[in-house]
Structure 1
């Protein structure tokens, strides 16, 4: 009887360990400040430090599918400008 309880307790601990594990996230480890023409950009994601990543950054996706990590929009004016342009191109939600 004690071995059944111990086995159930061990199984519970293992299940909790798996449930509390973090999901793998692709993060920018470094950023560049090199200007990227808006005509080459297809989309973006803003990465905030503390949400699974160590560094705040802007992740631009190019029309060819490449990913480029640049500084956070709060640091570079051209990044803010590109984001505003991309947002303006999005269709309005109903």
Structure 2
């Protein structure tokens, strides 16, 4: 009986650990400051360090679905400008 209780407690602790863990999903690992052609961009994602990813970045999604990582929008004026343009086009922030 004691082994069943111990096994159930252990299972509960393991399940809680998995549920509480942050799962990193497709983070930018490095960025570039190189200006991208606006006409190929469809949307963007803001990535903040400490919220599941190691670095802050702006990930632009191209019209063919490719993710291009550039410096965070607070660092480069052209990135902030592109975000404003994409927002006006179709609410580009995801």
Question: What's the RMSD between the two structures over aligned residues?
Answer: 1.4
Query: Which residue in the other structure is 1:25 paired with?
Result: 25
Kindly name which structure, 1 or 2, has the bigger radius of gyration based on alpha carbons.
1
Task: Identify unmatched segments of 5+ residues in structure 1.
Answer: none
Q: Which has the higher contact order (CA 8 A, sep 6+)?
A: 2
Query: Which residue in the other structure is 1:69 paired with?
Result: 69
Q: 1:5, CA displacement in angstroms?
A: 1.8
CA distance in 1, matches of 2:11, 2:32: 46
CA distance in 2, matches of 1:11, 1:38: 51
**TM-score, with structure 2 as normaliser:** 0.87
After the TM superposition, list the runs of 4 or more consecutive aligned residues in structure 1 that deviate by more than 3 angstroms.
none
CA distance in 1, matches of 2:12, 2:64: 47
**TM-score, with structure 1 as normaliser:** 0.87
